[in-house]
Structure 1
Amino acid sequence: MWRIVVKYGMILFGALAAFKFLEYQFFSYKLSLEIYLAIVATAFLLIGILLARYFAGSKPQNLSTIDEEKLALFSQREQEMLLFLAQGYTNKEIAKSLDISPNTVKTHLKKLFDKLDVNNRTQAVAEAKSLNLIH
């Protein structure tokens, strides 16, 4: 951990020293405003590109697959409810899509929440994603 702190501390120190040097050059009238701004803008652009590449490369390339064994513990209707929840549907919209009553939707959701051990829709979707039941 301390190596990472020292590494990034040195990088930030180098960047600060470079910007202070440029600032000195600007205020001593050795650089014009346009050149100073172009250098600073280019530096920020390069830093942004490097950070984007670093953080984009740190994400897993392979998406996790759905865990079929865990998914088999849920009924077909509960699996459908989970997919509707993940897409942000309301109870009325789910009922209309499945041609069932809103009270039936509530019953299925209650059973789903009990099986996932959650209290609301947001928690249900988050738990289902963590268990690899949905993407």
Structure 2
Amino acid sequence: MVLSDGLGNTIAGGDFWSGVRQGIITSGLNHLAHEGINKLEIRRTLLSRFKKVNGKHVTNPYAKPEFNPEGFKALLDNVDGLQSTYDKGNRPEIDCDYNSAVGEYVSGDHKVYINKAENQTNYKLASTFFHEFRHAI
């Protein structure tokens, strides 16, 4: 596509490299626009999974998560699809004493390790759970 921009510019009487440069800029901006839309769509999709009662979230996606069995159960119960993904992964143990990546699944331990500092909202923790539980499947 970029070469054709250069050729088209030359045929129209312009500079080949100016056309190539414009093609690169246009392609780059198009790519960024689509990336942004995809990220917004993913965010909207996950956010829509948080159950609501009377228009209010049962578990607030923006609240600080509770890193204990009750907090995990609340997320599993109140985020559509999270419990089933956990079950399909054969219910890995969840360990929150982890200081490396956002989260990690270790198959030998059948554990999901969660970094508390990197999962500061229920939304982020649910996202990390979905990701790591899929590794367990």
More strand by proportion, 1 or 2? 2
Structure with max Cα Rg: 1
